[in-house]
Structure 1
Amino acid sequence: MGHKVEGDGMPKDAAVDEFAGLVRTLKARDGRSYEALGRRLSVSASTLHRYCSGATVPEEFAVIDRLARLCGANEEERRALQAAWTEAERARRRAASPAPPPVPAMSAAQESNPEPSRRNQAPDPSAPDLSAPEAPRARPRRGAPAPLLVTAAVALVVLALAALLGHPTRRASAPAPASPPPERTAASLPFTWSIGSQLWEGGCGHTYLAPRAVAAPPVAADAGAWAGTHGAVHGGEALVRITVQGRSQSDAVVLHALHVRVVDRAAPLLWNAYRMDDGCGGAVTPRHFAVDLDRPRPLARPVDGLDASGAEVRKIPAVSFPYKVTSSDPEELLVFARTAACDCRWYLELEWSAGGRTGTVRITDGGKPFRTSGAKGRPAYVHDSAEGRWITDSDSGQTG
């Protein structure tokens, strides 16, 4: 599959071109502006424009599927659109592969003596003592098991008994960290759900904390791979989008409430802050749930959105529970979780009912809690694209 080079020097895959063309066709058929469609999709006009131009491929198909429904696409067109998105997403992942940060150059002393001195290091108890001669090993008598084999067999029996009896082998003085209970099987739910956990505000700005130097910032669609490569976590704020869709057109699923559960709190990370900002912005602030992770019992508080794309600022009413979803009428719940005082690990719980059944589904980040750390006062950096390097942000004291 061929590639072409765009004006910014980045290669663009033909599959991305094909997907973007289908999205443009949908948008042209509907006739509404980017702002008007963006309001219905809870994305900014600039983000929707990136989808149409091929500058960005969305991480999830749900937002494009909803666009297709809004624009009157039939089932066959939606299947073709999903197939095109799948190929474009694969192309995006192939092109992502961020380069690892450069390795610092060695000093002249290190080059002349690359092996570090070990005089002041504590000995490794697991390493063999090469300074002493090896003692002769006693050969076991024929028919009698070697002491090492006996010890190993006993250890295996102890471990097997511990597993059967449900007794952990770790000491009581070192309990395992708190974590959510096991999730229910998604197939048993009368609806499907998916998340986006690496969102940037307005599709443009975000702050990450990282334990070491990082490569140049990615586009928003590649943020997950970039953050994973550098071990980065959300700094000050995390945006999570939950897309919920019923499995049936006729049988609605009722969403009753969204709860926040914090499973671990620690002091904010003492890492550098790296700000992602490509200078874009949108005139639409989507409705969302605001979460203050610093409260003893955080709540998901519904907040109105704002549309400033026209002559007047228009309010977008917040999601009001209970709320119904079907296969043709999905819902997107956007969560803004903020903290200044902790390194928090947290997850969400969504209450639902359908057809006489009730339940709670846990919303996590791929089976793990979301992680957000306060970033206020940390050394902050922005990327100078002209010089190709990170520079100190003059507003670093305001990072929060």
Structure 2
Amino acid sequence: MVDETADFAALIRELKDRSGLSYGVLAKRLHMSTSTLHRYCNGDAVPTEYAPVERFARLCKATPDELVEAHRRWILADGARQRERKAATTTATATSATATAPEVATAAATTPTPETDLPAPSHEPAVPVTAPTPRNRRRTALFAAAAVAVVLAATALVPRLVSGDGGGSDRKQEAGSVTSTGRGTPSSSASAKSSRSPSASASPSGSVSPSGSATAKSRASASPGAKAGGAADVGAAAVPLTVTTRPYAWESPCSQTYLVDRDAAKVPPPPTEQDAPGWVSALGAVSADSQYLELTVQGTGQETVVLQTLNVRVVGSGAPLAWNAYAMGYIGVGCGGGVPTHSFGIGLDAVRPVATPKAGQTGLPYKVSESDPEVLYITAAAASHDVRWYLELGWSSGDRKGVLRIDDQGKPFRTSGMSGRPQYGYSLDDSEWVPHQAD
């Protein structure tokens, strides 16, 4: 067991023991098998997603600081698990190649060679050759003429292939002297080819796309060369950090409401938190009143990356959506929650929205690396507008710097006010949505 996995297992064991709940009770409430929960607590396995870890920690009454620490340790344990898997794949490939080598050697040993496997000369008298007939002579002449034509055609083609119709050598020379003006440094012929590809070209801003369980690499904005008196902007390939975005995280089930353009009878029951992205996508739902984002920022190497700024960009604002509002959670079921560290609030109704640290929280700058990630929590509120927006995270590392765009799979986030809209809560007794005004 690697250290990261052992640290993660130790923390969830501590939470479980302190809660006083049995494995069976916890497993039932988490909708997983008891044996699976045992494996997580013993360090024999690591959950592929963070959602069950968060539900487990909340069931065990973890404090906000413990929730952050659980997330941090899960990130490190998950990274270690992926590295082990890659190492096992590499070892299996090398073993397969080693096992194949003797077969190749055996095959080479049995291949005929001119010196050893030519048939021995025969001492029997040669069979007399019959003189060719006129018909056979004509056929032989035709075959010979065809062979000569093929040889001449191949001979004529070789110079064209070498010279590329006279333009290939010029084009090769031109490619070898290309300078990547977007970086301000000359490139070799190999890097010049890559600089012409779409993936290596500079773009105004990158996009951090969330994935259900996978970490999406961010892209950086790049400007030509180095700015005077400042650090050089870098391209996507050189960005030293990644951001995993959960755009439909819940601070608590009772805190999250979605606007849906459907009657209550046509809306399925509220999902669990990990199923919220699919539920939102299927219904075309929009976060109502506020949207809670969870951003996990981690370096890709040992060097320290400083998170300098977090700016809000609004790309569209209009009247609130005239849809029905559906609260997550269930009527009569209590909800917990707290304010974790590194939390920011955004008032989207403002003319120029700003990400402001919540009361008692420390703001930017923060430092991250591969072994020291940070989790940022964003609460974006909108009461009187339907707002489309995204974030820009400014970073620096040594003499490099850049800006990461953080959005919802390439699209802006969307948050709408719901004042005056019909509100519904889900009743477990009636198994349906019923009119309900949140407390």
SS in 2 for 1:264: strand
Q: How many positions carry a matched residue from both structures?
A: 256
Match runs of 1:385-396 below 5 Å: 385-395=428-438
Find 2:365's aligned residue among 319, 322, 331: 322
Q: In 2 relative to 1, CA 203–25 (structure 1 residues): closer, same or farther, beyond 3 Å?
A: farther
The answer to whether residue 67 in structure 2 is matched with residue 67 in structure 1 is no
Q: In 2 relative to 1, CA 9–385 (structure 1 residues): closer, same or farther, beyond 3 Å?
A: farther
Tell me by how many angstroms 1:285 deviates: 1.8
Find 1:25's aligned residue among 17, 42, 45: 42
Find 2:327's aligned residue among 263, 275, 280: 275
1:266 corresponds in structure 2 to 318
1:114 corresponds in structure 2 to none
Amino acid across the alignment from 1:67: R
Quick one: distance in 1 between partners of 2:38 and 2:27?
Answer: 20
Q: In 2 relative to 1, CA 355–199 (structure 1 residues): closer, same or farther, beyond 3 Å?
A: same
Q: Deviations over 1:276-317 (max 9, x none)?
A: 12434335321310100000000000014xxxxxxxxxxxx5
1:157 corresponds in structure 2 to none
Tell me by how many angstroms 1:21 deviates: 3.3
Quick one: distance in 2 between partners of 1:294 and 1:11?
Answer: 37
SS in 2 for 1:221: helix
1:362 corresponds in structure 2 to 405
Q: In 2 relative to 1, CA 385–6 (structure 1 residues): closer, same or farther, beyond 3 Å?
A: farther
Q: TM-score, normalised by structure 1?
A: 0.56
1:285 corresponds in structure 2 to 339
Match runs of 1:151-190 below 5 Å: 183=207, 184=219, 186-190=236-240
Find 1:303's aligned residue among 351, 355, 358: 358
**Which shows bigger deviation, 279-288 or 362-371?**
279-288
In 2, are the aligned partners of 1:345 and 1:372 still within 8 Å (CA)? yes
SS in 2 for 1:222: helix
Percent identity over the alignment? 37
Which one has the bigger helix percentage?
2
Quick one: distance in 1 between partners of 2:274 and 2:243?
Answer: 19
1:199 corresponds in structure 2 to 249
Q: In 2 relative to 1, CA 330–189 (structure 1 residues): closer, same or farther, beyond 3 Å?
A: same
1:224 corresponds in structure 2 to 277
The answer to whether residue 422 in structure 2 is matched with residue 379 in structure 1 is yes
In 2, are the aligned partners of 1:46 and 1:280 still within 8 Å (CA)? no
2:57 corresponds in structure 1 to 48
The answer to whether residue 374 in structure 2 is matched with residue 331 in structure 1 is yes
Tell me by how many angstroms 1:247 deviates: 1.2
Q: TM-score, normalised by structure 2?
A: 0.51
Tell me by how many angstroms 1:237 deviates: 0.4
Tell me by how many angstroms 1:321 deviates: 1.6
Quick one: distance in 2 between partners of 1:81 and 1:219?
Answer: 29
1:244 corresponds in structure 2 to 297
Q: In 2 relative to 1, CA 276–390 (structure 1 residues): closer, same or farther, beyond 3 Å?
A: same
Q: In 2 relative to 1, CA 47–337 (structure 1 residues): closer, same or farther, beyond 3 Å?
A: farther
Tell me by how many angstroms 1:223 deviates: 0.6
Q: In 2 relative to 1, CA 326–8 (structure 1 residues): closer, same or farther, beyond 3 Å?
A: closer
Quick one: distance in 2 between partners of 1:51 and 1:286?
Answer: 16
SS in 2 for 1:227: helix
In 2, are the aligned partners of 1:6 and 1:12 still within 8 Å (CA)? no
Q: Deviations over 1:310-349 (max 9, x none)?
A: xxxxxxx523221110111100111000011110000000
Amino acid across the alignment from 2:291: A
Quick one: distance in 1 between partners of 2:29 and 2:74?
Answer: 28
Amino acid across the alignment from 1:254: V
Quick one: distance in 1 between partners of 2:339 and 2:259?
Answer: 25
Quick one: distance in 2 between partners of 1:74 and 1:51?
Answer: 21
Find 1:211's aligned residue among 261, 265, 281: 261
**Which shows bigger deviation, 236-245 or 203-212?**
203-212
Quick one: distance in 1 between partners of 2:27 and 2:431?
Answer: 14
Which one has the bigger strand percentage?
1
Quick one: distance in 1 between partners of 2:312 and 2:408?
Answer: 14
Q: Deviations over 1:73-110 (max 9, x none)?
A: 6975676799xxxxxxxxxxxxxxxxxxxxxxxxxxxx
SS in 2 for 1:269: coil
1:146 corresponds in structure 2 to none
**Could you list the runs of 5+ residues in structure 1 that have no partner in the other structure?**
28-40, 53-61, 83-179, 305-316
Quick one: distance in 2 between partners of 1:64 and 1:341?
Answer: 36
In 1, are the aligned partners of 2:26 and 2:56 still within 8 Å (CA)? no
In 2, are the aligned partners of 1:245 and 1:331 still within 8 Å (CA)? yes
In 2, are the aligned partners of 1:209 and 1:274 still within 8 Å (CA)? yes
